[in-house]
Structure 1
Amino acid sequence: MSGHRVALGSAVLTTAAVTLALHGLVLRPRMLTWGATSDEVSRVYPGDDLIPEADSSSTMATTLPAPPEQVWPWLVQMGGDRGGWYSWDRLDHMGEPSADVIVPEWQSLEEGQRLNAAPDGQSWFAVALQEPGRTLVLRANLELPSGHSFDARSTPLPRAYMDGIWGFHLQPAPGDTTRLVVRTRGLSRPRPFTRPFDLLFGEPAHFIMQTRQFHNLRTRLSPAP
C-alpha cells in the first residue's frame, strides 16, 4: 500500500513539474507577448522610464480596422466613470456596458487626471502621459492587499504595494489601419508575496481582459455591413 502511495505522489510531483515547465517555457511567454512582433516587444515606448526597475512586463498588440485618428477617441474616453474599458464589463465595469459610441464630453484628458477603476472611487488610474493620436499611458499605485489607490507623491509607500503602467501606443499601418501596442510594466513589493500573485492571477487576468478589449475595439471600429 505504501508503494502505491509513493508511486502516486511521484506521479503528482512529475505532473506538477511538467505543467510548471510548460507554463514557464511555452504558455507564459506567448501570453505576455500575444499578437506582438519581436520588434514591438523589444522596442522602448514612451512611459517605460516611469518604472525603470520593473519586475514584470508585457507587450501585446493587435491591428485595428481604422486609422489612429479614429482609434484615439475610443481610448481617450476610457474609465470606470466614463466610457468603461471595452473588456469584460461584468468584471471591470459592474456589469454596465462600455460605451459603443463616441461621447463628446469624454473627449478631453489632462495629465494627472484620475480615471476611476472601481465604482467606490477607492482605486483609479492616473493619466501619466498622453500624446493625442499616438500615446496614452495610465498609471496605478495600489496598496496591497486592499487594492486601494494611493498618491505616491504625497504618501509614504505602504509595506505592500504595486506600481504599474498601462500604455497604449498607436502606429499607422497599411490600408488605413492602426497597429495598437499595449505595454505594461510593474514594480511590486514585497516580491516574495507579489511574485506568486503575478504568476497565478495578475498575468492571466491581464491576458483575459486585454484580449477582450482588443476584440471589442475591433468590433466598434469595424465598418458597418
Structure 2
Amino acid sequence: MKKDNPRFTFAQILEGLEGVAIIIACYLTFFLKPLRARWGLSKEEAKRPLPGDGIIKSPKSKFTHAININAPTEYVWPWIAQIGQGKGGFYSYEALENLIGLQIYNSDVVLPKFQNPTIDDSVAFAPGDCTPIVICEPGHAMAIENSLDMDSNQKYDPKGPAPKNYLHLTWLWFVEAIDENHSRLISRNRVDYAPNIKNKLMFGPLTEPVVFAMDRKMCFGIKKRAELLYHDSHAK
C-alpha cells in the first residue's frame, strides 16, 4: 500500500542485510547458477510445461523456482492475486526495494479490493511502471508479459516486429495442490533480449544473483503468509 516514506524497521534492516549476504554469496558461486535457476525443483520438474511458456518459446535467460507450502491452494492464491507495487507488494526484501525508490510495501493481510485480477489488469513494479497481466486463471495461475525498447525505454507490441534493442519477458506465478492440506508455488521467469554484449551481461551474471535472492525471498514470503492464514482460519 502507498506510504509517504519508506519504512525501515529493525527487522527490515536485518532482512535487507540477509538479502545482501545472499546476493554476495551468489556472485561468489557463479558456477552454481544452473542449480539456482531450478531452486526447489529437480531437472525434470524444471522442464515441465507451464502456462505462458509459448509466449517466449526460446528464452535466452530463464528460471523456475518452487516451494512447498503447508496450506491448501486457496490460502496461497490471495497473496498472488494482490501482488505488485501499490497492492500487496512482492513479499521480498522491502528495504532493498525501497532503497532504490520502488515504493513497495508488503501487506501481511489479504486486501479484498485486489482479489479479482483479470487480463485487463496489470502488475506494477514501481510507480508508473505497469506490466499487463496476460494469463489469469483464478486460484491457479497468473502471468505478466513485458516488451520494452531499451533504447527509447518505451513498450512495443510483442506481436509485431521487435526493435533493435529489445527486451521481452514473462513472469508466471503458479499454485497447485499436492494434497488437501499442502500445495506448491512455482515462480517462472522467461526472458528474451537483443543479443548484444551489454544485454548478455545485464541479464546474465550481473543481475542473476539479485533476481535469485529477491525471488527466493518472495517464495518464502508467500509461504509464510499462506501458512499463517491457514493456521489462523483453523484456530477460530
TM-score, normalisation: structure 2? 0.76
Residue in structure 2 matched with residue 14 of structure 1 by the alignment = none
What is the distance in 1 between the residues matched to 2:131 and 2:161?
Answer: 19
Instruction: Name which of 116, 122, 142 aligns with 2:124.
Output: 116
Q: CA deviation at 1:112?
A: 3.8
Q: Which residue of structure 1 lines up, in the alignment, with residue 105 of structure 2?
A: 97
RMSD between superposed Cα atoms in Å: 2.5
Matches within 5 A, 1:164-203: 164-174=169-179, 176-203=181-208
Deviation at 1:54, TM superposition (A): 1.4
Q: Does 1:40 align with 2:45?
A: yes
| C-alpha distance in 2 between matches for 1:189 and 1:145 | 11
In the alignment, what sits opposite 2:30? 23
Query: Are the counterparts in 2 of residues 88 and 209 from structure 1 also a CA contact under 8 Å?
Result: yes
Q: Distance in 1 between matches of 2:154 and 2:74?
A: 31
Question: Are the counterparts in 1 of residues 147 and 168 from structure 2 also a CA contact under 8 Å?
Answer: yes
Give structure 1 regions of 4+ aligned residues with deviation exceeding 4 angstroms. 153-156
Q: 2:74 is matched with which residue?
A: 69
Deviation at 1:118, TM superposition (A): 1.1
The runs of 5 or more residues in structure 1 that have no matched partner are 1-19
CA distance, structure 2, for counterparts of residue 154 and residue 23 of structure 1: 35
Unpaired runs of at least 5, structure 2:
1-26
3-state DSSP class of the match of 1:45? coil
2:140 partner amino acid:
R
> How many equivalent pairs are there?
201
* TM-fit CA distance, 1:96: 4.6
Q: What percent of counterpart residues are identical?
A: 26
Q: Which has the larger radius of gyration?
A: 1
1:130 corresponding residue in structure 2: 136
SS at match of 2:67: strand
**Is 1:111–1:130's contact at 8 Å kept on the other side of the alignment?**
yes
1:139 aligns with 145
Q: Which residue pairs with 1:221 in the alignment? A: 226
What is the distance in 1 between the residues matched to 2:171 and 2:36? 16
Go from structure 1 to structure 2 and tell me whether the alpha carbon gap of 1:66 and 1:149 turns closer, same or farther (over 3 Å shift): farther
Between the aligned partners of 2:134 and 2:160, the Cα distance in structure 1 is: 17
- Distance (Å, rounded) in 2 between the aligned partners of 1:72 and 1:88: 20
Report what 1:163 is aligned to.
Answer: 168
Contact 1:165 1:184 in 2 (8 A): yes
